[in-house]
Amino acid sequence: MHRVVFNQKGGVGKTSITCNLAAIGASQGLRTLVIDLDVQGNSTHYLVGEVDAEQFPAEAQGVAGLFKQTVGSRKMRANPDSFVWETPYENLYLMPSSAHLGQIEKDLEARYKIYKLRDALTKLDDEYDRIYIDTPPNFNFYSKSALIAADSVLVPFDCDSFARQSLYELMDNIDELQEDHNPDLEVEGIVINQFNAQARLPGALVEELKAEGFPVIDTFLTSSVKMRESHYEMRPLIYLAPSHKLTQTYVDLHKRLEKGLRRRSKR
């Protein structure tokens, strides 16, 4: 199963949601891969910390290496799994990002390599139970590649009025991509993040989204200092504070998504 976490707006929690859901699955015995397609490399930093550029040259490692080997060739030269790193956590693996992704993007787009990630994931299916993809905060070559390769998409939403405006464009872009490239892509739902039940605006925005027919998932992730601590310690919540309220909300969200996945697989 390939799940992409995507929003064209930055700061809505894509990395937190990607890595924490992946970590929960890994902690439950699912062999899980995180692919970091964002040039900022936040998922990479979150899961493995600072990367030694001398020991691991960016142009030969991770996602950049995977894509670069396709230039000048119609086929993958190396097994995609050779670009995957281990993390400190059992069952959790990472295909890291690097700044080199930004340098090769135009060349990849010009050579129409947009299906190469999908080809790679097909080869990785036998190795991993779940594959999560963290995306850049814009509708570019890498996010399109992810959506083409994915079975489903989660859309983080941070209860901000500006985020609501961008949501309409985002859903239109997903609809167009489904029609042109990936008709089987399923929108699993909108994940409400940084929710404050005490404030009036977040609740009102959520109800308006539901009234407009947006597929809002009824498990709301709240804002917490513990998440900032998790980022600082570079440890997903399930390993840092397994009994914390926010961790348990993530566990509930993961359970809900897995239940939906089982239901869809029976169709």
Query: Quick one: tokens of 261?
Result: 């996945």
Three-state secondary structure call for residue 190? strand
Per DSSP, the residues of 58-96 read: GGGSHHHHHHHTTTT-SS-SS-GGGG-EE-SSTTEEEE-
Structure tokens at 250: 């993530």
Mean pLDDT of the chain: 91
Question: What is the DSSP code (8-state) at residue 111?
Answer: T
Per-residue pLDDT tens over the stretch 221-245: 999 999 999 999 999 999 999 999 9
pLDDT of residue 164: 77
Per-residue pLDDT tens for 1-41?
999 999 998 889 999 999 999 999 999 999 999 999 999 99
Query: Residue ranges of the domains in the chain?
Result: 2-265
The structure tokens 């050579």 sit at: 111
Tell me the torsion sign for CA atoms 199, 202, 206, 209. positive
Return the ∠ at Cα 258 (arms to 67 and 94), rounded to 5°. 30
Task: Tell me the two tokens of residue 207.
Answer: 């109800």
Name the residue with tokens 């961008």.
166
Which class would CATH give 2-265?
alpha beta
Hey, what are 59's tokens? Answer: 């142009």
Tens digits of residue pLDDT in 117-166 = 999 999 999 999 999 999 999 999 999 999 999 999 999 998 876 777 78
Residue 68 has pLDDT above 80, yes or no: yes
CA nearest to 222, candidates 191, 200, 243? 191
Query: What is this structure's pTM?
Result: 0.94
Longest alpha-carbon distance in the chain: 56
- Bridge partners, residue 255, by sequence: none
